[in-house]
Structure 1
Amino acid sequence: MPSNEQRRAAAKRKLERQLARRAEQEKKRKRLMIAGSVLGVIVVAAAVTGVYFLTKGEDPATSAEQSSAVPTTPFVNTPLDIPGPPPPTAKPATVDCAYPASPEPAAKPVTPPATTSVATDGPEVRLTIDSTQGPIGLSLNSAQAPCTVNSIVSLAEQGYFDGTSCHRIVASPGFGILQCGDPTGTSGGGPGYSFDNEYPTDQFAPGDQALEQPVNYQRGVVAMANAGTSPEGKGTNGSQFFLVFGDTELPPKYTVFGTIDEAGLETLDKVAGAGVEGGARDGAPAMPISFDTVEVG
């Protein structure tokens, strides 16, 4: 039976294939747009329609100075022309959650959160992240993802996220995420328990083909990273999440549990502007970012 780490590796390989297809589609779209602009000049001899492009900037340096360098180019969001997930359906005032132990031990010692009478209609929950590159504020949505918010709040209150680095970034047209929440910084760490997906996965029946169709995870949302579904059909959410700074095309299998404030998006844009370590498309941020503290309220 594959472990969560193996499933995460498989999920990452699948995501890399999706990114490659997305990049090839973007190249084709640019070629078509350029051809259309040239044809327009020949036919009407009027103003040429500008061809959309997103500059990547220079390859990021790998020296120690890069850790605090100013980004070489600002990140520009590329709005996707696909719809977002369907709106969430209302939940009862309270729900019960399940957080079964995962095969891998906790990356940091923590106590699993409460499982019964988890509120869905309480006051807005705020997370204040003091990061090494600037502030990031999150508003968590208990109404659409109560079990996820319950877990994230519990981990934050236990100091689980303090002193952790964001180990992965993808910054390209159609994909803009910063992945965080793993104290080991390896993409394999978790809290020692797992839980199922919530919104938007819960808007679809199990096996629905629509779960394989991409939707727009819009700039400004925060969602859970996972390793797919276990052989037993259980979810593999743990502590890792991704902050979306650019509209991102993904199937609706990643729980959206909150939004990022404007100050947080400015911080993320700065990190995204520096690109990926070594000039890659997917990997460690060229501008390292860690969470000094993550506080509730």
Structure 2
Amino acid sequence: MTRKQERARARRRWEKQQARTAQRSQDRARRLRVLAVVGVVLAVVAGTAVLGVTVGGSPTPGASSTPSTASTTLAGCELPPKPLGTAAELDLPSAKTAAGKTYKATLSTNCGDIVLRLDGTKAPQAVASFLQLAQQQYWKDSPCHRLTTAAPLKVLQCGDPTGTGQGTPGYGFGVENAPKDGTYERGTLAMARTNDPKKGNGGQFFIVYGKSSLPDPDGYTVFGTVTSGLDIVDKVAAQGVAPNDTSPDDGPPAAPISILSVAVTEEKS
């Protein structure tokens, strides 16, 4: 098999994987909608009981009557917050906002801080978008919804406040600064996107915790690196993927991790 044939075969395999991921996200969103309808019906049926509890005494702020899921979290991690479940309708910021500048971004998660260095020289549009979304608190309480654990792809994907993999900030932009050989080194910060390389980037991004190969001719925007906290991603990855209907090595992480807030400061030369 020639090198060209190998690349074509790898690309087809990657496209099939992406299609499966998109289908799983759609299925999850559909299940959530069904559960919401069922919840409304049950609330109506149980209205008397609910009113009785409310009148009888107000619950302690922050307390929960639902069973704890602490057994699924890592040591040193807090229980992740419930996703806010909303996307946004923002306008694409100008790439000039970040051009020629570098930034330090701190992702505060329920498992600790992950610190990033953003490169506005190599990927000004991606960094400008990141800055805007951080300022708008777009990622508040958003889960990292996808983990892949099998070669050639070892990444943790985050950045969707809906937790479904379908959320967007209301705009898209094109690929910039993609590796020509399709290789993404450990510690790389890159944009996740749809199949459209011209406007498929939005608010989702992925952290590479193991050297990965993404055989796509258009590639994925590399806009920064992880400077500390990659060990947190390693620990999450070590727990593997939560049981799902399609793949044992691609899906929600078994050990949940969520972004609580994002703070960004410009680095002065």
Separation in 2 of the partners of 1:171 and 1:16? Answer: 17
Hey, what's the Cα distance between the residues in 1 that align with 2:125 and 2:86? Answer: 20
Query: Counterpart in 2 of 1:265?
Result: 230
Percent of paired sites with the same residue: 38
- Counterpart of 1:277 in 2: which secondary structure? coil
Q: Which TM-score applies when normalising by structure 2?
A: 0.65
Match of 1:151, SS state, is helix
8 Å Cα contact 2:108-2:259 kept in structure 1: yes
Give the Cα separation in 1 of the matches to 2:149 and 2:94.
36
Q: Which amino acid aligns with 1:267?
A: I
Q: Which amino acid aligns with 1:225?
A: A
Q: What residue ranges of structure 2 are gaps of 5+ in the alignment?
A: 1-12, 21-67, 77-84
Shift in Å at residue 171 of structure 1? 1.4
Q: Point out the more displaced range, 165-174 or 140-149.
A: 165-174
Deviation at 1:217, TM superposition (A): 0.4
Deviations 1:244-284 (A, max 9, x none): 1111110351100000023x211101101111002811000
- Where does residue 68 of structure 1 map in the other structure? 73
Distance 1:14 1:275, change over 3 A: closer
Q: 1:253 aligns with which of 209, 219, 238?
A: 219
- Distance change >3 Å, CA 290–CA 272, structure 1 → 2: same
Matched with 2:262 is 294
Count matched residues.
Answer: 193
Q: 1:140 aligns with which of 118, 123, 129?
A: 118
Question: Would you say the 8 A contact 1:139–1:259 is kept in 2?
Answer: yes
Cα 1:113–1:194 shift into 2, 3 Å: closer
Distance 2:75 2:202 in 1: 33
Question: Residue 224 of structure 1 is aligned with which of 191, 203, 213?
Answer: 191
Given the alignment of the two structures, is residue 239 of structure 1 paired with residue 203 of structure 2, yes or no?
Answer: yes
The structure showing larger relative contact order (alpha-carbon pairs under 8 Å, at least 6 residues apart) is 1
Label 1:285 to 1:12 Cα distance change in 2 as closer, same or farther (>3 A). farther
Please name the residue that 1:194 is paired with.
172
Where does residue 117 of structure 1 map in the other structure? Answer: 96
Kept in 1: contact 2:14–2:214 (CA 8 A): no
Cα pair distance change 1:180/1:289, threshold 3 Å? same
**TM-score, normalised on structure 1?**
0.59
